[in-house]
Amino acid sequence: MAEAGRSKPEQTVWQRVQVEIVPPAIIMLGDLALFTLGLLILAILFLFLLGLRKLNYPVRYIAILESLHFWGYFAVLTVLLLDLLLKVTAHAFRKR
């Protein structure tokens, strides 16, 4: 018979990784996919701007498009940082 005062065996390192690290990592995969998609779209647009320059498109119009391209990067950065802050805040204040 087992002794009444004995505690359960401790978790192995792999069990702790599965419980503590894998679930948040799976959640972050969605954010990674959104980030990668945003960067891919912006990179394609950058190549489009380079193509316009090679085709001798008017410089003032390229400048306007480059400005929009910059604000696109800024918008992606802002959305992802706000998402990160909200998730960190939610994780910090959730009850266990």
Per-residue pLDDT of the chain (96 residues; tens, 9 = 90+): 455 555 556 778 888 877 777 877 787 788 888 888 888 988 898 899 899 999 999 999 999 988 988 898 898 889 888 988 888 788 778 865
CA nearest neighbour of 65 among 81, 84, 45, 80: 45
What pLDDT is recorded for position 8? 59
Helix residue ranges per DSSP H, the chain: 13-20, 22-54, 59-93
- Note if the pTM is more than 0.85: no
